[in-house]
Amino acid sequence: MNQLYKNQSYIYKALLFICASFLIVYIFPKGGVFKYEFTKGKPWQYDNLYAPFDFAIAKTPEEVAADKAKIAENSIPYFEYDTVIANRAKQAFSETFASNLKVLDLSSSGDQARLFGRVLLNDIYRYGVLEERYAYDEKRQIYLNKGNQAEAVSYGQLLTSDQLTSLINSRIDNSEYAKFKNGFIALFYDLVSPNVRLNRELTESSLQNEIDKVLTTRGSVSKNSRIIAKGEVVEGIKLQMLISLKSEYESQVWSDKNFYWIVVGYSVLVSLALLMLLLFLRKYRKDIFDNNAQVTFIIFNVLVMVIVTTLVVKYKANYIYIVPLSILPLVLKAFFDSRVGLFTHVITVLILGFVVPNSYEYTFLQIIAGIVTILTISESFRRANLFLSVGQITTNYILAYIAFHLIHEGNVNTIDWTTVLFFVLGGLATLMVHPLIYAYEKIFGLVSDVSLLELSDTNSKLLKELSDKAPGTFHHSLNVANIAEAAANEIGANSMLVRVGALYHDIGKMANPTFFTENQSASGNAHDVLSAKESAKIIIDHVIRGVEIAKRNKLPDRIIDFIRTHHGTSTVYYFYSKEKEVNDNVLIQDFQYPGPKPFSKETAILMMSDSVEAASKSLKNPTSSLIDTFVEKIINKQMAEGQFLNSNITFKEIQQVKKVFKRKLTNIYHLRIEYPE
């Protein structure tokens, strides 16, 4: 059990690794993967390829679409003829004729006029009157359904409302009844109603039946026949044969045995990719590797991108470039650094290469986008920088896509602008990174540059309280922040993190501000009425009080680390010496800070900055040489006490920090160069 406890961190990472690998393999499609990569217009790089089985040659999507369009163009629509309306009109003719043409009806030519009207009415309803106009050519053949019978006629034989009016006027004008035109028009206006309409359901059903019969293949390839020879250009029928073979290979039904072998293959490849990520963290980012929460965060982001992309490929592969994969390096750079962001991005793209179509093209585009993301984004907390970076990422996507299209097609006329639009949408989706970073901060307890920028605002509630209760401490914190930030910039540490840590490192002094020199007035010292041990306890307790205040105000753990470590395990030497003067049996532990010692470059820089800035107030008549000696003495003493043993700062970097301190203090005290006499 003791051994398990010691290795619990490694056990957790092993379980995380196994679970992540299992989940990725589980969502992957389990079909076979075609083992050959080929590109239109490029020579076949492998040996002669022979058909492993019989398969049909698939038509291109364009050819299938053209065949369907031709069928749709030549399809015969179905129209319904309502005989009830026609018969009702014919039956009502006599009565309507008598009421509208009474004078003519009673004349000697009344029977002839009736016959003229009936003939015209029969001609009108020979093929019927349309309820609405349709976008068919007049010569287009149609089927006219009259009850259970269908008659093939041309669309132009059906009357529209305009044609009906023209027909009535023409027939009356050319007859002996022209002077009764108004009466005849009123007659037919009362009688005639549209009785022909398009049967959309039957028409579409018939069309769909014809479309379903469209062949998606043209010819076949027999087993063992040669498909393509080595060096032969992949184009035309050869390209279609290869595409057909790939599709047939990946879609064929696999046996249980083959299925398990495919799962084993995927498991090995995915595990290797994730293992490389963990080994990278262990070798080059040990602090991240040792933090289980941060490792979980990185693996979680990889899983999210893999799952989202795989689902898009499964349900709508055309939308694959809308998935904002560039969010991954942006997020990781915000919390860690560029190298972690880029390496994780590359590993994720390699994993996705197993499932995406055109894997080489996809991998190239995404890796280029990841590199552009890392190179272009700086100070991500500035919104303008993010917009510029997204613009550059989208531009590179589009340029790379057009370049691939030129290689494949040899012209720009067939560029799919919908895909270009997808790249733009993917770029806009990348702007979600800011709210995503905020959510991750709350969920995983991480701190980004955006939060650090907010915390560095001296008008924040906690810093305003510090300036009110302990103005001397607040001023000291500002000086330490400036010095520490310059030192961090010099050695490539996180300057924003150091600055924020410096601003809050002494907030514990608000509990007893007058017991600290920088807040005391000239009237007296609060320690004069206390024993050395009591004074030391008050001084030491400002670290504990600071941690309590920070937690109460919900400061991030990374900032609280600066409060804990800014004195390390050093001794309150003044009161320790004072106690030794009256007590030989004094315990040094009663005068030591609880620690821990600094464990990063940033916390080590703050410890040095705090000590140097505080002690510099005791300098009288400072000179350049005096400041140099003073800085060397303080930092060398901390090194001798082993305060920096747990931090990853080097001797060279400490020397660089010393130079910055000397330069800064010289500027603060407005010293001139000392000239020899």
Give yes or no for a contact between 170 and 178, defined as CB atoms under 8 angstroms apart: no
Tokens of 633: 């003495």
Q: Is the pLDDT of residue 417 over 80?
A: yes
Q: For residue 149, how many C-alpha atoms fall within 13 Å in the half-sphere facing its CB?
A: 5
Q: In angstroms, rounded to a whole number, what is the distance separating the alpha carbons of residues 198 and 142?
A: 10
Tokens of 648: 């990853």
pLDDT digits (tens, 9 = 90+) for 208-239: 898 888 888 888 888 888 888 888 888 888 88
Structural domains in the chain, CATH included, are 2-28+256-444 (no CATH), 72-210 (no CATH), 449-668 (1.10.3210)
Tokens of 193: 């109603």
Please report which helix (H) or strand (E) contains residue 616, including its range.
helix 601-616
Give the per-residue pLDDT at 251.
66
Give the per-residue pLDDT at 638.
93
pLDDT digits (tens, 9 = 90+) for 62-71: 888 888 888 8
Residue closest to 28 by CA, chosen among 299, 354, 345:
354
Which pLDDT band, with edges at 50, 70 and 90, does 523 fall under? low
Q: Is the pLDDT of residue 602 over 70?
A: yes
Give the per-residue pLDDT at 632.
93
Give yes or no for a contact between 627 and 618, defined as CB atoms under 8 angstroms apart: no
Please spell the DSSP secondary structure of 304-319, one letter per residue: HHHHHHHHHHHHHGGG
Residue closest to 329 by CA, chosen among 273, 371, 378, 274:
371
- Mean pLDDT is lowest, of 79-93, 367-381, 429-443, for 367-381
| Mean pLDDT score, 668-676 | 58
Give the per-residue pLDDT at 254.
52
Written in H, E and C, the secondary structure of 633-674 is HHHHHHHHCCCCCCCCCCHHHHHHHHHHHHHHHHHHCCCCCC
Task: List Cβ<8 Å contacts ≥24 apart for 533-539.
Answer: 533/575, 533/579, 533/590, 533/591, 535/575, 536/572, 536/575, 536/576, 536/579, 536/590, 536/591, 537/590, 538/512, 539/515, 539/572, 539/575
- Model confidence, pTM: 0.64
Residue closest to 661 by CA, chosen among 643, 634, 621:
634
Give the per-residue pLDDT at 468.
92
Q: In angstroms, rounded to a whole number, what is the distance separating the alpha carbons of residues 280 and 264?
A: 24
Tokens of 466: 């510090």
Please spell the DSSP secondary structure of 82-110, one letter per residue: -HHHHHHHHHTHHHHHHHHSHHHHHSTTH
Q: In angstroms, rounded to a whole number, what is the distance separating the alpha carbons of residues 121 and 89?
A: 8
Burial of 414 per CB tally in 10 Å (0-12, 13-18, 19+): exposed
Q: Is the pLDDT of residue 499 over 90?
A: yes
Q: Is the pLDDT of residue 284 over 60?
A: yes
Tokens of 616: 């510099």
Q: In angstroms, rounded to a whole number, what is the distance separating the alpha carbons of residues 151 and 306?
A: 59
Give the per-residue pLDDT at 296.
94
Residue corresponding to tokens 């990569």: 37
Average pLDDT, the chain: 86
Q: In angstroms, rounded to a whole number, what is the distance separating the alpha carbons of residues 533 and 421?
A: 72
∠ Cα 616 555 638 (to 5°): 30
Give the per-residue pLDDT at 352.
92
Q: In angstroms, rounded to a whole number, what is the distance separating the alpha carbons of residues 261 and 32?
A: 10
Give the per-residue pLDDT at 545.
94
Backbone angles phi, psi at 143, to 5 degrees: -105, 125
Give the per-residue pLDDT at 603.
95
Residue closest to 515 by CA, chosen among 536, 486, 487:
536
Q: Is the pLDDT of residue 671 over 60?
A: no
Residue corresponding to tokens 């000086």: 479
Give yes or no for a contact between 594 and 544, defined as CB atoms under 8 angstroms apart: yes
Q: What is the DSSP letter of 357?
A: S
Residue corresponding to tokens 């395990």: 569
Give the per-residue pLDDT at 272.
95
Cβ neighbours around 1 below 10 Å, total: 5
Give yes or no for a contact between 380 and 496, defined as CB atoms under 8 angstroms apart: no
pLDDT digits (tens, 9 = 90+) for 544-564: 999 999 999 989 888 999 999
| Mean pLDDT score, 185-213 | 88
pLDDT digits (tens, 9 = 90+) for 87-122: 998 888 888 887 777 766 666 677 788 888 889 889
Which pLDDT band, with edges at 50, 70 and 90, does 383 fall under? low
Give yes or no for a contact between 436 and 442, defined as CB atoms under 8 angstroms apart: no
Strand pairing category for 226-228 and 49-50: antiparallel
Residue closest to 513 by CA, chosen among 480, 539, 550:
539
* DSSP E strand boundaries for 284-425: none
Instruction: Provide the greatest CA pair distance for the chain.
Output: 153
Q: Is the pLDDT of residue 436 over 80?
A: yes
Q: Is the pLDDT of residue 381 over 80?
A: no
- Mean pLDDT is lowest, of 216-230, 464-478, 531-545, 633-647, for 216-230
Give the per-residue pLDDT at 237.
85
Tokens of 40: 């239109």
- As beta bridge partners, residue 81 has 146, 196
Percent of the chain with pLDDT over 70: 93
pLDDT digits (tens, 9 = 90+) for 332-380: 988 888 899 999 999 999 999 888 887 888 899 999 999 988 888 665 5
For residue 596, whether the previous peptide bond is cis, meaning omega lies within 30 degrees of 0, is: yes
Rounded to 10 deg, the angle between the 181-191 and 161-173 helix axes is 150
Residue corresponding to tokens 């009830």: 84
